[in-house]
Structure 1
Amino acid sequence: MHIFTNGNKLLQKVADLRLQQQNLISSNIANVNNPNYRHKTLDFENQLRAAYQATKSPLTVTDPDHFNNSEYSDVKGALETELKPRVIHGQDAVDLDKEMTEMARNSLQFSAIMTLIQKDFSGKAKYLEEFSK
């Protein structure tokens, strides 16, 4: 039995990217009063979706070691810097309300991913307990 399945690897990669996104949001909020700072975000959802679709195979895999179809390590996300022309000199380059909303959304998604990972491992622990009897 392999502990790290394709689902585990996907969840781990999503959690890692969500953490990176949270750090960027925190940086945006910290620089809300810096007029030269530009909003940054990490776009990874499309890359992750494409990587997940690439792992789907019409072939039946009888052993996880037969095909290495779970490479999510290539998904890094694309750092995007939003450049908006400002009408009024000194206007904040970062929309605080938008950043706080995005932080809450990202936090909820990260929490959900961590719950899934925890439940997956607790299920495997129960299986190992029963198997060891």
Structure 2
Amino acid sequence: MTMLAGPFTEKGTLFGKGSLPVVERNLAFLEERHKLISHNIANVHTRFFKAKDLPEEDFLRLLNKSMDARDHKHVRVFEMIHNSKVYGDWDGGDGFLTEDTAGEVLRHSDNNVDIDKEMTKLARNGLMYQTMSSLAKKNYDLLRSTIRETA
């Protein structure tokens, strides 16, 4: 397993409230997953290479738990719950642990990269990233509009 760090922090800031921290966590996860999928595709012909992935289901389950925990707090600041796959790193962001894709058929080059699966994952990941980016932009546009109205 490899540790990958995520760039976002929110504890104790204006941006720790509302939907923006959730969107940012999704963007961080999708960015790291994009890097891994691209790495898998780049190594499709590398002997003995084993494809890696980030466990999307684990991340989403943890994100839902974190949102539920925030909803039950008196001060509703979002803090990501961590487990063995998603952990807190030194700068307050999240890190992710990669997993080898197990049970895959090895190719003649003793690698298990299925280019069709990886390209499908890459396309899906890209669409999800675009969606989350649009949501983040709408959040910032709303904040900008609110600041202009009060100034």
* TM-score of the aligned structures, taking structure 1 as reference length: 0.80
Number of equivalenced pairs: 124
- Would you identify which runs of 4 or more consecutive aligned residues in structure 1 move more than 6 Å? none
Given that 2:41 and 2:118 are in contact with CA atoms closer than 8 Å, whether structure 1 keeps it comes out as: yes
Change (3 A) 1:125 1:73: farther
Query: Gaps spanning 5+ residues in structure 2: where?
Result: 1-12, 87-94
- Report the counterpart of residue 134 of structure 2 in structure 1: 115
Given that 1:39 and 1:81 are in contact with CA atoms closer than 8 Å, whether structure 2 keeps it comes out as: yes
Cα RMSD of the aligned pairs, angstroms, is 2.3
SS of the residue aligned with 2:54? strand
- Report the counterpart of residue 131 of structure 1 in structure 2: 150
Q: Post-superposition shift, 1:86?
A: 4.4
Given that 2:44 and 2:111 are in contact with CA atoms closer than 8 Å, whether structure 1 keeps it comes out as: yes
SS of the residue aligned with 1:19? helix
For the pair shown, the structure with the greater C-alpha radius of gyration is: 1
- Report the counterpart of residue 34 of structure 1 in structure 2: 46
Query: Gaps spanning 5+ residues in structure 1: where?
Result: 62-66
Q: Alignment identity in percent?
A: 26
Given that 1:35 and 1:93 are in contact with CA atoms closer than 8 Å, whether structure 2 keeps it comes out as: no
Q: Post-superposition shift, 1:92?
A: 4.3
